Amino acid sequence: MTDIFAQTKAKFHLPKGVIYLDGNSLGPLPKAAMGVVERTIQDEWGEMLITGWNKAGWINKPSEIGDRIGKLIGAPAGSVVMGDTLSIKVYQALASALELNPGRKVVLSDSGNFPSDLYIADGLLKSLGEEYELRVVAPEEVENALTDDVAVMMITEVDYRTGRKHDMKALTGKAHANGILTIWDLAHSAGALPVDLEGCNADFAVGCTYKYLNGGPGAPAFIYVADKHKDAARPALSGWMGHEAPFAFDLDYRAAPGIERMRVGTPPIIALSVLEASMDIWDMVEMDAVRERSIELCDLFIDEVERLCPQLQLGSPREGRRRGSQVSFHFENGYAAMQALIANGVIGDFRAPDMMRFGFTPLYVNHDDVRGAAAILGTIINEKVWDDPKYQKRSKVT
DSSP 244-272: SSGGG--SS--BPSGGGGG--S---HHHH
Smallest Cα–Cα separation from 39: which of 28, 30, 52? 52
Q: CA quadruple 242, 246, 249, 252: dihedral positive or negative? A: negative
For residues 214, 215, 219 and 222, what is the CA-based torsion angle, rounded to 10 degrees? -90
- pTM for the model stands at 0.97
Identify the CA nearest to 287 among candidates 181, 394, 189, 382: 189
| Residues with active-site annotation | 114, 185, 210-211, 357
Torsion of CA 293, 296, 297, 303, to 10 degrees: 180
- 152, 179 Cβ separation under 8 angstroms: no
Residue ranges for the chain with pLDDT beneath 50: 1
Beta-carbon count within 10 A of 160 CB: 25
Yes or no: say if 97 and 183 are a contact pair by the CB < 8 Å rule: yes
Handedness of CA 398, 357, 348, 379 (dihedral sign): positive
| Cα radius of gyration (the chain) | 22
Q: Assess contact for 82 and 267: CB atoms under 8 A.
A: yes
Q: Determine the distance from the C-alpha atom of residue 294 to the mean position of all C-alpha atoms in its chain, rounded to a whole number.
A: 16
**What pLDDT does residue 1 have?**
39
pLDDT at residue 2 in the model? 61
State the pLDDT at residue 398.
79
Q: Of the candidates 152, 159, 146, 147, which has an alpha carbon nearest to the alpha carbon of residue 134?
A: 152
Length of the chain: 398
Q: How far apart are CA 172 and CA 234, in angstroms?
A: 22
